[in-house]
Each structure stands twice: as structure tokens, then as C-alpha cells.
């Protein structure tokens, strides 16, 4: 009996050589670390060293988050990943009326350089790699990080990490946008130029399919819409006068890993192959690093359940294995209690230990690309690739990612996929252990971690103290220069950095840009 994959593609009971008729392994596979990178972006992959183990963390105040980071580093985390609260993500200060009730809830509250300084206190920025999940205000958080590095005596050329900086997927699936698409893309191009000149080892964007998947996108949709966004970013940078090989090696991607191991492995292989071909054939990239689709993976939060939460430990282990077998460059494993509340110290440690078991107790790191030549994986890779290319072609027919976003194409396609998943779950056609099968009559009690609501008042007090103690004339002058740059064509990051150094707040800097660029209002809001 034939089953369907998450993308709606057939999975046959048995595969053999006939499944790959006309298949040219030399052309489609190549060697690990060589074009078209189907088998991985590096020739040795994990046989030399494992992937970077990142744990996404951030809640409450900078002081509380710093304590969690210190614990993660002590437990063996090799890279930090910062979660910011919603006001920070939307470019509002903690004392803004719109921020009420959200300060510190889904991430750490960062209002100024004072908070950023506390967040990384005692953490040497030349020794850790830091990923920051921030999009519309990504430039601000990157500059605050650079300023803290300068205070530590760390030159910018030694800073390593990633800003997500992927605003197009915000219009599609997540909603933490600030400015309209045009100014947002201009800001991203300015970030590319700034980092090439000032912070050369920084990954300037993490083009994300993860949030589309969390909204219900199938694996094929996740890859298609993410790569279409990537193409839009490359076109924007080239149109701004940059040579593709000057910025493409610092592009990175961010995908989900589901429990469906075989299709996830195929998805990652197909994504690498398509991106390498696009960069070579459409953009004429010559640097091999420009052709490499390097990506971070996070296990699927949407597949975690509040029912029998300990079962999520098993799900996360399976998802993490899928990411590793698919060749990820870094990995975050979710904590088992995240469907209920913020992770506790113990659950965060268990999530990290899951990665460490995969890296050091299994044999998946002993050989490069364990699934190469598998009939089922190679056929599924071809099938996913074909489905992805068909969706990408539809986006191109509409004029590219931005035009398709304005027509609501990606959003409507993802919503259809999410509705199908909901129907299958409700009917138990799609089994979710503990939810529609194998339930308990009574759930065991669990005490989650809660954020102290007093944090909001504490942040407001810190902001009041900051404003009372800074040189307001210096702030006003810097913000005026920022507005002037935004009105013209100068790179906005240089006056933005001066404003942040003068202790302008995140909200004040974003407000200055809102005055010039306006705010994005989705068409379906009218």
C-alpha cells in the first residue's frame, strides 16, 4: 500500500534500481563538499568534528538570560542562540504602551546597549558564535553586539555568528515585520555591505523556512518559498551594486526537522542541489562557497504536544537525527516542555544532551552522508526537488517572492497545507501519540517555568534611568543623521551605530526609521 509523504508525494513499499531509471549519480550526487553539494557542503562533514550545538534561549531580563547562557556553556553548548521578546522583535521599548503584557515573555527584553552589555556579561565574544533570531530590527541588535564586543576589546573581524534578518518570511508566515518590503530589502542590502566591510565573518542573513513549516508548510513548500526568498535577497544585493561572490558566501539558511526522517533527509539534499544550481546558473557565482547552502536546523516545535510531554524527548531525538543525517551545520534541539511553557534548566540540559548522544554515542558521525545511494532517499530527493521547482516556477511567474507575497500566494498555499494537517489529525488519519491515540485518562502534573510579570516594571525603570543619565543632545543629533541617511542612499548602519552608542533605545531608532519609511500593513487588513 502506497503512503504519502508530508509533501503529498507517494512513498512506495519497496524501492529498487528501477525507481532511478535514467538517473545519473555522477551528475546528481558528486562528491561531498563538491558541486552540486547533494551529499553535503564539506568533504569530511562530521568525521572531523560534529555540527555546532546551539541552544535557543532567552527570557525575562538580560540578567536571567545571561545566567541561562552561562549554564549552557558549562554544559557543553558550542554556540549561543538568542531569543528576543515580542516588543524587541517589533522595535518597541519595554515601556511603550503596545508592549504591555509581552515584556520578557517569549524571549529576552533588549531596549538599549545597557541590556546588551548585561546579556553578554562574562561571555567572551571572540570565543563564542552567537545566533540572534531577530528580523526587522536585525541591524540594531547586530550593532549592539558589535558595540559590546568593542567594550570587551574584541575587534569586529573576530566576531562570528548569524542574524536571522529574513523579513520576507515575516510577511508570509510570522508577522514580526515593521517596514514595507522595499525599505526592508534596502536595509538588508545595507547590512550586507556593512558586514563585508566591518564584520567579515558574520553570517548576514539566515533565510528561514522554519517558521513557514511551523505555520503548516509542507517540506516542499518550506524549501520552495525559502529559496525563492533567497533569490530575492540575492537580486536585491546585486541591484545595489554588490558582486555576488562578495556576499553570497555569508548567506545561510534555517530549516525545520520533523519526525519523518526519510523525507527530511531528502528535503535537505534537494535544497542544497537546487541552490547550488541557481547560484551558478542564474547569478554566475564562481566562488564555491557562494554555491553552498549552509543551514541551521531546529527540531519541530509544532510537533511537540502538551499531552504526555515526556514523549517529546523521543520526538526531538528522532528530529535531531533527521537533521544530522541531512547534513545540518548547526542544530537546536527543543526542550520537551516547550509546548507548555518556557524550558526549565533541566529540560534545556536534556535537550542539549540529546545532541551530545547523537554526536558521541552513535555512529552517524563516522561516515560522510550515510544515505548516499539509498534507492528510497535518492528517489524521494528527486521527487521533492521536482515539487520544489514547480512551486518556485509559480513564484517566478508572479514576478518573484515579493510580488507573490503581495498577492498572498505563499500564505494561502501554507494555509491549505495546515488545514489538511488539521483535518488528518482530527480524524486520526495522522497519528499523534498521546493526542488522538494512546492517550492517558489523566495527565501527570507538571510545574512549568513562568516569567515574573514584575519584569515589565523593572525594564521601565531601567529605561527611565537610561534616559535621565544620557546626553540627549547626542542622541537627537545621531537620530537626525539616521533619518537623513534613510531619506537618501547612504548606508544607514553607520549613523544607527552612533545612535545606539549614544544610548538611543531600540524603540527610538526604529521610530526614526518608521517616520521615513512608514509601517507595513498587510493587504488583508484593509
Contact 289, 33 (CB under 8 A): no
Cα 434 to Cα 422: distance, rounded to the nearest angstrom? 16
Q: In a structure prediction context, what are the per-residue pLDDT tens digits for the chain, which is 526 residues long?
A: 678 999 999 999 998 888 887 777 777 788 999 999 999 999 999 999 999 998 887 888 999 999 999 998 998 887 898 999 999 999 999 999 999 999 999 899 999 999 999 999 999 999 999 999 999 999 999 999 999 999 999 999 999 999 999 999 999 998 999 999 999 999 999 999 999 999 999 999 999 999 999 999 999 999 999 999 999 999 999 999 999 999 999 999 999 999 999 999 999 999 999 999 999 999 999 999 999 999 999 999 999 999 999 999 999 999 999 999 999 999 999 999 999 988 888 999 999 999 999 999 999 999 999 999 999 999 999 999 999 999 999 999 999 999 999 999 999 999 999 999 999 999 999 999 999 999 998 887 877 767 788 899 999 999 999 999 999 999 999 999 999 999 999 999 999 999 999 999 999 999 999 999 999 988 754 3
Order of strands, edge to edge, in the sheet holding 205-208? Answer: 202-203, 160-163, 129-133, 79-83, 52-57, 330-332, 295-299, 251-257, 205-208
Cα 381 to Cα 293: distance, rounded to the nearest angstrom? 16
Task: Give the number of other Cβ atoms within 10 Å of residue 143's Cβ.
Answer: 25
Q: Tell me whether strands 251-257 and 3-4 are parallel, antiparallel or unpaired.
A: unpaired
52-303+315-366: CATH homologous superfamily?
A: Methylmalonyl-CoA mutase (3.20.20.240)
Judge residue 187's burial from the number of C-beta atoms within 10 Å of its C-beta, 0-12 exposed, 13-18 middle, 19 or more buried: buried
End-to-end CA distance of the chain: 48
Amino acid at each position: 500500500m502506497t503512503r504519502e509523504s508530508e509533501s503529498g508525494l507517494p512513498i512506495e513499499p519497496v524501492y529498487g534500481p528501477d525507481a532511478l531509471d535514467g538517473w545519473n549519480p555522477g551528475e546528481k550526487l558528486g562528491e561531498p563538499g563538491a558541486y552540486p553539494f547533494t551529499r553535503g557542503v564539506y568533504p569530511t562533514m562530521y568525521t572531523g568534528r560534529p555540527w555546532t550545538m546551539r541552544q535557543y534561549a532567552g527570557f525575562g531580563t538580560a540578567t536571567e538570560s545571561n545566567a541561562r547562557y552561562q549554564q549552557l556553556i558549562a554544559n557543553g553548548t558550542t554556540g549561543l542562540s538568542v531569543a528576543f521578546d515580542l516588543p524587541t522583535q517589533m522595535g518597541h521599548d519595554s515601556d511603550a504602551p503596545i508592549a504591555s503584557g509581552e515584556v520578557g515573555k517569549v524571549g529576552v527584553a533588549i531596549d538599549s546597549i545597557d541590556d546588551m552589555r548585561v546579556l553578554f556579561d562574562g561571555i567572551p565574544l571572540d570565543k563564542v558564535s552567537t545566533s540572534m533570531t531577530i528580523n526587522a530590527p536585525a541591524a540594531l541588535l547586530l550593532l549592539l553586539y558589535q558595540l559590546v564586543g568593542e567594550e570587551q576589546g574584541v575587534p569586529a573581524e573576530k566576531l562570528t555568528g548569524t542574524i536571522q534578518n529574513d523579513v520576507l518570511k515575516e510577511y508570509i508566515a510570522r508577522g514580526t515585520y515593521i517596514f514595507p518590503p522595499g525599505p526592508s530589502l534596502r536595509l538588508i542590502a545595507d547590512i550586507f555591505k556593512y558586514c563585508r566591510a566591518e564584520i567579515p565573518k558574520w553570517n548576514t542573513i539566515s533565510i528561514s523556512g522554519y517558521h513557514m513549516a511551523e505555520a503548516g508548510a509542507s517540506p516542499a513548500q518550506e524549501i520552495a518559498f525559502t529559496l525563492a526568498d533567497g533569490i530575492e535577497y540575492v537580486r536585491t544585493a546585486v541591484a545595489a551594486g554588490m558582486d555576488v561572490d562578495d556576499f553570497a558566501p555569508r548567506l545561510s539558511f534555517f530549516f525545520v526537522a520533523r519526525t519523518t526522517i526519510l523525507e527530511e533527509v531528502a528535503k535537505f539534499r534537494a535544497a542544497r542541489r537546487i541552490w547550488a544550481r541557481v547560484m551558478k546558473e542564474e547569478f554566475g557565482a564562481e566562488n564555491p562557497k557562494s554555491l553552498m547552502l549552509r543551514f541551521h536546523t531546529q527540531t519541530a516545535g509544532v510537533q511537540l504536544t502538551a499531552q504526555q510531554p515526556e514523549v517529546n524527548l523521543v520526538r526531538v531525538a528522532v528530529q535531531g537525527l533527521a537533521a544530522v543525517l541531512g547534513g545540518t551545520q548547526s542544530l537546536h534541539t527543543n526542550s520537551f516542555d516547550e509546548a507548555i511553557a518556557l524550558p526549565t534548566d533541566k529540560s534545556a540540559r536534556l535537550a542539549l544532551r540529546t545532541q551530545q548522544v547523537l554526536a558521541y554515542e552513535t555512529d552517524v558521525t563516522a561516515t560522510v552522508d550515510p544515505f548516499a545511494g539509498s534507492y528510497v532517499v535518492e528517489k524521494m530527493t528527486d521527487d521533492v526537488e521536482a515539487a520544489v521547482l514547480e512551486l518556485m516556477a509559480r513564484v517566478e511567474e508572479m514576478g518573484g517572492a515579493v510580488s507573490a507575497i503581495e498577492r498572498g500566494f505563499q500564505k494561502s498555499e501554507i494555509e491549505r497545507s495546515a488545514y489538511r494537517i488539521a483535518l488528518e489529525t482530527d480524524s486520526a488519519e495522522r497519528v499523534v501519540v498521546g493526542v488522538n491515540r494512546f492517550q492517558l485518562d489523566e495527565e501527570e502534573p507538571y510545574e512549568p517555568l513562568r516569567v515574573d510579570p514584575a519584569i515589565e516594571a523593572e525594564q521601565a525603570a531601567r529605561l527611565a534611568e537610561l534616559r535621565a543619565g544620557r546626553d540627549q543632545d547626542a542622541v537627537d543629533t545621531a537620530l537626525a543623521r539616521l533619518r537623513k541617511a534613510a531619506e537618501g542612499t547612504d548606508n544607514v548602519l553607520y549613523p544607527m551605530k552612533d545612535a545606539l552608542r549614544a544610548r538611543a533605545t531600540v524603540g527610538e531608532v526604529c521610530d526614526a526609521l518608521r517616520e521615513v519609511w512608514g509601517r507595513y500593513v498587510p493587504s488583508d487588513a484593509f
